[in-house]
Structures are given as C-alpha cells and as structure tokens.
Amino acid sequence: MNANYNFAFLDEGSKREIRRAVLKAVAIPGYQVPFGSREIPIVRGWGTGGIQLTLSLIGPDDVLKVIDQGSDESVNAVNIKKFVGLCTDVRTTADTREATLIQTRHRIPEIPLSNRQILVLQVPIPEPLRIVEAREEVTKQMHAECDYAPIWLQLYESLVKYKKVTVASEYPCMVEGRYIMNPSPIPKFDNPKLHGAECLYLFGAGREKKIYAIPPYTRVVSLAFDDVPFERESFAGRRCRLCGSENTFLDEIFDAQTGEKVYQCSDTSYCREVRSRPKPQDQNLGRCPNPAGSKLPAPSYKKGSRGRVPLRGSGRSPEVREPVLSVKNLIVRYGEGCPACQENLEKNRCAVCKTVWAANDISLDVYPGEVLGIVGESGSGKTTLMRSLYFDFVPTSGSAVLRDYKDGQKNIWDTSAAERRMIKNKIMGMVYQNPVLGLRMDYSAASNIAEKIIAAGSRNAGQMTERAAELLEAVEIMTSRMSEAPKNFSGGMQQRVQISKALANNPALLLLDEVTTGLDLSVQAKVLDLIRKIKSMYGISILLVSHDLAVIRMLADRTVVMLDGKIVESGLTDQILEDPQHAYTQQLVHSLI
Amino acid sequence: MEILCIANLAKNFYLHNPGREIKSCRNISLKLEHGEFIGIAGLSGAGKSTILKCIYRSYLPTRGEIIYNSEAFGRIDLAAAAEREILYLRRHEIGYVSQFLNVMPRTTAKEHVMNALTDMGMDAGSAETDAKEMLAYFRLPENLWDIYPATFSGGERLRLNLAHAMVKRPRLLMLDEPTASLDGRTKILVRDMLRNLKGKDTGMIGIFHDIEFMKGVCDKIFNISEGAIVS
C-alpha cells in the first residue's frame, strides 16, 4: 500500500457520510438516498458511485472482485482493481465464491452470492422514472405518492406497439412492494437474481449522487402485467462455445471473416470454472445452479380487486335528489383584492387594486344523470370553473363536494395530491377544448385510455386493450388504429379519443370544455350524438361548457349563464333560450343566427 | 280532483333593449279535469302559446299559480317548482307537441321516438316495440323509420312529433298547432288518437287553427284576446 494515501483513498469523513447513506438505503429498500458524492480520480460516469461505495466499505480482510459486463479482464475492471489495490493492499480475485466484495458494472454473477458477500453495482441513471418524467422534483413526488402509473404505461405502450415488452436492460422492479427501482443497466436476465437473494446489493450513482440498496431476502418483483408474465432473454438452443453452458447470459460474437455468429458466457469467471470441472460432466454441469438465487417463493402479483370496472348501467334513478357535484362560493382571484373590489369592478377587474376576479362567487349543483350547460362569452370564467374542478387551478376560496367522494363530506379542493389524482381518475373525466392538454400525443390511442385504467389500479394488459377497443368503438374510431398516436389523428378524432379516455373508468361526472369548437359540422354531430349516448346509456352527469347555443339546446337539461366571473342567470335550457331574463342572456339569445 | 288548475296567471316580458315591458297574458284562470280537452282559440299574438309555455315552464310566469296534480309529487305549482322537478315531470308526465321538430343530429326517426321512452327508464327492447307501434299508427312510412328526419316533409315531421309526444302516454299534454300542415286523413288519425288519450284520462290543452277539428275533440273552447279569456 502506498503510504501517501489514506486507507482506501477516501478521507474518513467521506466514508462515514457514505456509510450513513448505505445504512439508510438498507433500512429503506429501493429508496434512493442522496449523498455527498466525492471527487475521485476517475471521470464521473465511469463508476465513481460504485468506487465510493467500495472504498467506504472495504477493510483489510476483504477480497475484492471487479467485473465489467461480466468480464474480470476488461479495462474498467482491471483499472479499478489496480486503484483499490494501490490504496488498500487488499487481495483481489476473479473467483466469485472467494470474493467478499464484488464491484460490478452491468452484470450480476451467475453463481448465487452468499450472505457474506456484498455486490456493488455502478449506476449511471438511478431514477427509474426518468424516462417518463424529466423533472427530479416531480419524480421524487411520484415516489412519495407511489404514483407509478406512467412507468406502467410505458410498458403497456410497448405491448401495444410491439406486442411484447421491449425493455431489455434497466428493467424496472418493485422493491418490497413500495419503491420502483432501477436495477442499473443489468440485462433483465439478471433481474430475478435480485429477488430474495442472500447477499446485500448496493447501488451507487456518483454523478447523480444517489445510493440505494436491496438487503438480503428482499421481495423484488420485475414489473409485469397480470396476464403478460415477465420474461428474461431467451437463449434457447444456444450454448457457450467454450464451456457448453446453457441457461447463462450469452454474449454474441460475430466473426466478420467467416460471417459466423458464436456465443459465449458473459460471466468469464463462471465460464472458466465450468471448464475447469473434471470430466465427464455431472448432471448439473453447464446449468446455472439456481438462476433466481432465491429461497423465497417466486414473486407473484396480488389478484382480486383489480380489474375492469363494469359499465355503469342506465336507469340510475332520476329521483335521487343528492347532487353529484355541488360547488359553493368558488372564487378564483388574481391579485390580493381590496375591500372596495366588488363595488369597483370593471367587467371582472377591480378598477382600484387591479385584481382580476376570474370566478367571482360561483355556486352550482349538478344532479345525477343531467347535463348542465354553461354558456358565456370568452373570459366569463367558464374554463376557470372547469379547470378548478379538475385541479388545474388552485381556487382562492370556495368548496366543491362530490357525492362519490367521501359521501360528499369533504371539499375536493382541500385534499392531497394523491387524493386529487384518485378523484381525477375514478370520479371525474375531463375533455379539454385543446386535445394537447388531455392526451399524450406521442402514445398510442390505446395507451391513452390505458393510462386512466392503470392509474385506477388495474394491471391486466388484456383487459385494458379490450376496454380501449370497446371505448374507441363507441366513439367510432376504428380499432385498427388504436396503436397509432393521436398526433396522427384529425382534430375530431383527437376529441373523440379524449372523450373515450375520460370515460375509461366510468366517471360519475364528465367535464366537457368546448368539445365541439373548431370541428366541422358532421364531426360535431358525431360528437354531440356521442355525448347524448353517454348520457342516456351510462347515466353519467355532464358539465358542458360551450359558447355554441345550438349545442347547449341539444344537450343541456339546465343551463347557467356566466358573465364576468359570475353566474347571472340559470334555468331550464329552453326557458333560458325562449324567455331569457338577464340583459346579457337576452343579448346572447338575440345574437343567435 | 282536477289535473290542472291555473289561477291568475300573468306573463310579461321585460326586454332590456330597448327597456320595455311586453304584456302577453293576464289573469288567466282555468281548470282542467282528467280526460278533459280544452281548446284555446284566438288571433295570432293573443297569448295562446304563452299559456302553454308557462305550463311547460319554457316561460317563467310573472304571476299566478299553475297547480298540477302530479303522480310523483302530488299537488305541485309548476310556476314555482324546482327545475329538477320540472325536468322529471317533462320526462314522465307532461308532454308538449309543437309544429317544430327538435331532433338531435344523426338520430333516426325511430330512435327519436324511442328516446322519449328510454329517458323514462324503459329498456331499449320494449321502447323499440312501442316506438314502432306509434310510428305505424301515425302512418309514417316504414322506410323512413331508420332515416334522419332532417330531410322529412312538414307533415312527416309533425307525425314524428306527435309520435314522440304520445308514445309515453303523458298525463297532461299540450298541443301547439300540431295539425297545422296535416292532410285530412292524418288529421282523422290524430283526432282518434286524442280521443283515445282522453279515454285514458289524459288532460289536454290545445291550440288549433282548424276550428272544425277543435270542435271535434275539445270539451271546452276558450277564446283569448289581448291576453285574457273572453269566452
């Protein structure tokens, strides 16, 4: 050992910091613990996270093994071994069984590890949700709330597009039923080895400054739909050209001279061990002893409550007096407001303090099975109301209760993000005027519908596809196009996909914001017809915003008229249109062409 | 007990532009028994339709009471009832036939009639049977049943309207010139249908320009002039 170095290079303070992070990571399996990643004389991204773990944990009695993609002899592995040797003098080995500490890049050895061994994995991107969400603060929140629907959607989308899950490495897994974890870029072949293993797995991401762990005997389940089981890469019919092993992870080697493809074990030390065994081969030779390396029973998903929600039938009693939605005194205000606001309003803006009252004391009820129309000019607060209900805006004050949420006892604006998501997914559906707001334009139409179903808890891909097909058929979109992305659809089709998405979980309340605006007449008729069918077939209550009075007359049972953030008149739709009371309504009706 | 009792009904329209009040009907009082048919006659603009629309609550009455004896709610003042109640009554008990057809786009004639029944909660199968029966009764040619009514002639539209209103056998039926453009033969059908409904205790109020027709079906005829009953 070079006396100029501290033992294992890092100063003791740094080691302590890292060990503390390791302890926390072990205590919360799968949770990414941030740590003060140190400068190491290696470029970030070349394994600095793994090296820091190794240096913090290694002791004089340890035996170190370093592998890179299964190989003990690759440059990265050799250099790390030399570096650690330089500053610790610990023995290094290629023998997996002999090592006490193994640092690895992108593979887990074929031989199951024991309870006296630690496997340190180098991690480039620790965040499993990064592919679906770029913002760190959002992914943190998603983990905190177990909001994992987007990653499931990613898997479903590949089923829709390619009929199979195409993720080959960094295959996400659920750790102890709580955190979804990125197992680092190991091939999914190695994923089962994480489940119920005897050894401790530690993951270090130096650049991203995260450490996480899988302690021994932890339940680690690779994500899979109930009806589409997780599958490892298959090397059926192939064997290692050197040791003859089947059932190990094989590298494909292409000989450009002969055009021949050959296969050999990616785990070089395992391959060597097999070859050194005495011949004739015993029964188990060439077979990986227990690839899952597990004493726990194989993981399985809970079955039961999840699954398709049956269509809500018609015939919900019209006599039910209790409103589905009841909004009271909604105020959405931009500005502080002043005591003289209400007397000094110019339209919806206070002349004194310049506060804009986008929604100024709005109260309304929506009853079961009815369509409540909302009319009013641009800027009258229609969309403010709708988007407040769908939690896109935070209202200044006011309350809204839903019959189907806590029996109408809790203000939906006084809820946690997770509760809001539940309400949005199960009780309400929203169709925006602009389809971009309501759809994932790059995901297939089927996935757009599945997104809602996944969020509601289903993990059955077949049922999702069935339901998506049923809904798309109902909105007259050919099921042959369900694997296409809505960005390739016409405006009317996008709107209809939005409607079917909103209906995915049979909401009790549908919010429709100018759904027919900008559509040509025949498409408009299709959408209107669809809404009428939804109303009569499923008995869903609808809040319908439109500035098109013809649409309102066709669909709405009752109508409220909004002006400058207030409701100026409400009544039966035909009464509003034939016997308008307020000056603005009269002007509106007289403007009908 | 009578099915409908109107007392001192008045309706004024206030037009904000140009800031003027228009008086339509004033001091209308009448009683309608079960199975009775009252005809309303009068010149255009006399306020005949206003009365019907006030009962149906398309207009908000300015003054007065409209007590309707409902199957679901008992005695209820239509002038002051909650919108939810009115909507329920319209779906289940009170019908209105005008000379104008109001059909959802892309709804066929048969579906239009069926919708009246499915809205009441009837299953689609029985609704279809009843709808077909009613369309056949009003002699709407069978090859038009699965056609969108946008292209129908005036007479065909009226017959569809009548079928839509009568298929649910309302307890109270308002008829606002439903026979305006019907040929003699169809008028006879309508008359027989109205008599049939009377026999089933439906109370009806109707406006007809055809005095002979009105005399053929109505038990009483009120003449309206300048918003008041004169005879």
Cα radius of gyration (chain B):
18
Residue A29's pLDDT is: 97
Number of domains within chain B: 1
Out of B59, B104, B118, the one facing A554 most closely (by C-beta) is B104
Which residues share a beta bridge with B28? Answer: B9
3-class SS letters over A238-271: CCCCCCCCECCCEEEEEECCCCEEEEEECCHHHH
User: Does B115 map to a domain?
Assistant: yes
Tell me: the pLDDT tens digits for B136-151?
988 889 999 999 998 8
Q: CA–CA separation, B167 vs B109, rounded Å?
A: 13
Amino acid at A420: R
Report the gap between the CA of A319 and the closest CA in chain B (Å): 8
Q: CA–CA separation, B11 vs B59, rounded Å?
A: 8
Q: Identify the closest residue of chain B to A526 by CA–CA distance.
A: B106
Say if residue A300's pLDDT is above 50. Answer: no
Tell me: the pLDDT tens digits for A165-182?
999 999 999 999 999 999
Out of B58, B115, B118, the one facing A579 most closely (by C-beta) is B58
Q: CA–CA separation, A570 vs A581, rounded Å?
A: 9
Residue A297: burial class (beta carbons within 10 Å; 0-12, 13-18, 19+) = exposed
Identify residues of B whose CB sits under 8 angstroms from chain A CBs. Answer: 13-17, 53, 57-60, 72, 83-84, 86-88, 91, 102, 104-107, 115, 118-119, 121
- φ, ψ for residue A500, nearest 5 deg: -65, -35
CB contact at 8 A, A90 and A128: no
Report the gap between the CA of A575 and the closest CA in chain B (Å): 4
User: Does B109 map to a domain?
Assistant: yes
Looking at this predicted complex, what is its ipTM?
Answer: 0.91
For chain A, give every domain's residue range.
12-222, 325-442+485-590
The domain at A325-442+485-590 falls in which architecture? 3-Layer(aba) Sandwich (3.40)
Contact B119 A578 (CB under 8 A): no
Residue A30 known to be catalytic: yes
Q: Identify the closest residue of chain A to B86 by CA–CA distance.
A: A572
Which residues share a beta bridge with A357? Answer: A333
Q: CA–CA separation, A349 vs A331, rounded Å?
A: 13
The catalytic position among A199, A271, A288, A350 is A271
Q: If we measure between CA atoms, which residue out of B78, B82, B61 comes closest to residue B69?
A: B78
Residue A2's pLDDT is: 66
Contact A318 B91 (CB under 8 A): yes
Which pair of tokens denotes residue A84?
A: 């650690």
Contact residues on chain B for A370, CB-CB shorter than 8 A: 84, 87
The catalytic position among A265, A288, A341, A350 is A265
Amino acid at A299: P
User: Does B23 map to a domain?
Assistant: no
The catalytic position among A173, A199, A240, A341 is A240
Contact residues on chain A for B15, CB-CB shorter than 8 A: 586
CB contact at 8 A, A325 and A377: no
Long-range contacts, A437-444 (Cβ 8 Å, 24+): A438/A498, A438/A501, A438/A502, A439/A486, A439/A494, A439/A497, A439/A498, A439/A501, A440/A486, A441/A485, A441/A486, A441/A487, A442/A485, A442/A487, A443/A153, A443/A157, A443/A485, A444/A157, A444/A160, A444/A161, A444/A482, A444/A483, A444/A484, A444/A485
Confidence label for B55 from pLDDT (cuts 50, 70 and 90) = very high
Contact residues on chain A for B72, CB-CB shorter than 8 A: 319
Confidence label for A315 from pLDDT (cuts 50, 70 and 90) = very low
Which residues share a beta bridge with B206? Answer: B39, B175
Amino acid at A273: E
Question: How do beta strands A260-265 and A250-255 pair?
Answer: antiparallel
Out of B13, B87, B106, the one facing A525 most closely (by C-beta) is B106
Residue A144 makes CB contacts below 8 A (sequence gap 6+) with none
Tell me: the pLDDT tens digits for A555-569?
999 999 999 999 999
Q: CA–CA separation, A330 vs A5, rounded Å?
A: 67
User: Does B147 map to a domain?
Assistant: yes
Q: CA–CA separation, A425 vs B129, rounded Å?
A: 39
Out of A536, A554, A578, the one facing B53 most closely (by C-beta) is A578
Q: CA–CA separation, A483 vs A162, rounded Å?
A: 10
Q: If we measure between CA atoms, which residue out of B13, B56, B52 comes closest to residue B30?
A: B52
User: Does B74 map to a domain?
Assistant: no
Q: Mean pLDDT over residues A471-483, rounded?
A: 90
User: Does B5 map to a domain?
Assistant: no
**What percentage of chain A reaches a pLDDT higher than 70?**
92
DSSP state for residue A38 in the 8-state scheme: P
Q: CA–CA separation, B174 vs B157, rounded Å?
A: 17
In a mutagenesis test of the A interface, which of B87, B93, B98, B114 is the best target, namely the one with the most A β-carbons within 10 Å?
A: B87
Report the gap between the CA of A555 and the closest CA in chain B (Å): 8
Q: Mean pLDDT over residues A569-574, rounded?
A: 94
Contact A314 B121 (CB under 8 A): yes
Say if residue A287's pLDDT is above 50. Answer: no
Q: Mean pLDDT over residues A77-95, rounded?
A: 92
- φ, ψ for residue A133, nearest 5 deg: -150, 120
Q: Mean pLDDT over residues A146-156, rounded?
A: 94
Do A12-222 and A325-442+485-590 show the same overall fold? yes
Look at the block and give the residue holding tokens 């690779």. Answer: A222
Out of A572, A578, A582, the one facing B86 most closely (by C-beta) is A572
Chains A–B, number of C-beta pairs less than 8 Å apart: 65
CATH 2.40.40.20 fits A12-222, yes or no: no
Which pair of tokens denotes residue A444?
A: 């297939």
SS3 assignment, position A573: helix
**Structural domain span for residue B137:** 39-60+83-221
Residue A271 known to be catalytic: yes
Task: Share the mean pLDDT of chain A.
Answer: 88
Residue A134 makes CB contacts below 8 A (sequence gap 6+) with none
Q: CA–CA separation, B17 vs A581, rounded Å?
A: 12
Amino acid at A304: G
Say if residue A45's pLDDT is above 90. Answer: no
Tell me: the pLDDT tens digits for B34-54?
999 999 988 888 888 999 999
User: Does B18 map to a domain?
Assistant: no
What CATH number has the domain bearing residue B190?
A: 3.40.50.300
Tell me: the pLDDT tens digits for A509-541?
999 998 888 778 887 888 888 888 888 777 899
